[in-house]
Structure 1
């Protein structure tokens, strides 16, 4: 689980960094950010549930990977 915990912490840090810059972004990026924030809530709640499980649910891994990809896109666009 330490690997997954690090992954979640990295996503949180990236999200926080981008959130500080997003107010200067284009409308298109702001809309993508709104979608990421919506998905973040789902991810975070599932990640909390999975902390106590032995194996991380595949759906949470996929959602995490999608969030990481979306955060990378937004960071590059900034």
Structure 2
């Protein structure tokens, strides 16, 4: 579980950094950010469930990786 906790903390930190800069981005980035935020909300809800349901963990790892990739795309575009 420590790896998952590290993933969540890394995602939160990256999200906060990007959130500070996103208002300066292009409309395309703002649209992508809205979609990422929707997925982030889903991730957070599922992360809460993961504490009590082991089989959700694999799906969360995939979603977490997808979010990390999306954050990296947006960060590079800024």
Q: TM-score surpassing 0.5?
A: yes
- Separation (CA, whole Å) in 2 of partners of 1:70 and 1:26: 16
Segments of 5+ residues of structure 2 without an aligned counterpart are none
Q: TM-score, normalised by structure 2?
A: 0.92
Q: Unpaired runs of 5+ in structure 1?
A: none
Root-mean-square deviation (Å): 1.3
Runs of 4+ in 1 over 3 A off after TM superposition: 52-56
The normalised TM-score by structure 1 is 0.92
C-alpha separation between the residues in 1 aligned to 2:69 and 2:54?
A: 25
1:52 alignment partner, SS class: coil
Post-superposition CA distance 1:28-77 (Å, at most 9, x none): 00000000000001001101111234565221111111000000000000
Name the structure 1 match of 2:36: 36
